Amino acid sequence: MRYRVLRPPYCYRWAVLLSALVVAVTATVSMFHSAEGAPSPAPVAAAQAMAEAPAAAPEPAGLVRHTARTGKFVALTFDDGPDPVYTPQILDALSRAGAVATFCMIGANVTRHPELVRAVLAHGMRLCDHTVSHDEDLDKRTEQRVTAEIAGCWSDLQVAADADVPVSYFRAPGGSWSDVMREVTAREGMKPLSWSVDSRDWTLPGTAQIVTTVQQTVQPGAVVLLHDGGGKRAQTVEALGVLLPWLVAQGYQFDVPG
C-alpha cells in the first residue's frame, strides 16, 4: 500500500522534469536555428554602405592621351607658361636633344611675354591653348565664360605670334573637363589634350623624383605632363637634362600629341 501511495507523485515529478527538459532543448534548438538563419547585420550594413557610396566619375572619353604616331614615340608637353626664366632654358634643352614639344600657354602670360611665344614657334614647337586665366573651376562655368576663356587665349596667341598660327590643342586647367568645355574646344577647331604620364613636377618633389616618376611610367605613345610656368621650375629644367638623353638612349623619338 505504501508503494502504491508514493509512486504516483514520483512519476508525476519525473514527467514534469522530462517535459521541462524537452521544452528547454526545443527552445535552445529553435534559438540556434533562428540565429543561424538570420543574416548577419555587419554584411548588410556593409552592402548598404557600398550601395550608398558614390561611384567614381569616369574620365571623359575622346581626350588626346597618345602621340600622333604609333611606335616608340613620346610627346612632351609643358603647361602654365610662357615664363621668362624657365621657358628659354627648356627651349635650349629641347633644341640640344633635337626634341619637339607642345607648350600649353596661359593667355595672361602670353600677353606679358609675346616674344616667348615667337621663340617657341621659332624653335619648331607646337602651341596649345590653356585658357586666359587658368581657372581650375572652369568646368563649372557657363558656356559664355568657357568660350571667353578658350577663344580669348587662342586670340592672345595669334596676336603674340603676329601671324596666323595653328593652335591644335586645348588643355583644361587641372585636367577638369565638362561637356560644355569639350563642345567649345571642338567648335574652336582644337583637340582636347590630356596626358598619360604626370611627372608631378608641379609638387616640387625634387629633380631625382621627377626623373624617377617619368622613367617608371613612360611607355611608347605617352603624353608627358611637365611645366615651364606657374612657379619655380628649376627642378623641371634639371630633370630634363637627365630625361632627354635617357629617352634617346631608350630608343624613343619625340612627337606631338595625336
pLDDT, tens only, 89-112: 999 999 999 999 999 999 999 999
Residue 126 to residues 120, 156, 221, 236, 255, Cα–Cα distance (Å): 8, 15, 17, 19, 10
Q: Which domain holds residue 109?
A: 73-254
18 in a structural domain: yes
172 in a structural domain: yes
196 in a structural domain: yes
68 in a structural domain: no
Q: Give the C-alpha separation, 94 to 110, whole Å.
A: 20
Exposed (0-12), middle (13-18) or buried (19+): which is 104, by Cβ within 10 Å? buried
Same domain, 2 and 97: no
Same domain, 22 and 96: no
Indicate which CATH number applies to the domain containing 140.
3.20.20.370
Q: How many domains does the chain have?
A: 2
pLDDT > 50? residue 184: yes
Same domain, 28 and 88: no
62 in a structural domain: no
Same domain, 86 and 28: no
83 in a structural domain: yes
Q: What is the pLDDT of residue 61?
A: 79
Greater pLDDT, 167 or 20 = 167
pLDDT (tens digit per residue) in 202-244? 999 999 999 999 999 999 999 999 999 999 999 999 999 999 9
Same domain, 191 and 90: yes
171 in a structural domain: yes
Residues annotated as part of the active site: 79, 227
Task: Evaluate whether 170 touches 190 at the Cβ level (below 8 Å).
Answer: yes
pLDDT > 80? residue 45: no
Q: Work out the pLDDT band at 254, boundaries 50, 70, 90.
A: very high
Of 213, 224, 209, 218, residue with least CA distance to 249: 218
End-to-end CA distance of the chain: 113
Q: What is the pLDDT of residue 52?
A: 39
Task: Evaluate whether 60 touches 207 at the Cβ level (below 8 Å).
Answer: no
Same domain, 117 and 29: no
Beta strands in 82-159 (DSSP E): 101-105, 126-129
pLDDT > 50? residue 9: no
Residues of the chain above pLDDT 90, percent: 76
pLDDT (tens digit per residue) in 48-83? 333 333 444 456 779 999 999 999 999 999 999 999
Q: What is the pLDDT of residue 33?
A: 42
Same domain, 31 and 124: no
Cis peptide upstream of residue 60 (ω within 30 degrees of 0):
no
Q: What is the pLDDT of residue 21?
A: 42
Same domain, 142 and 20: no
112 in a structural domain: yes
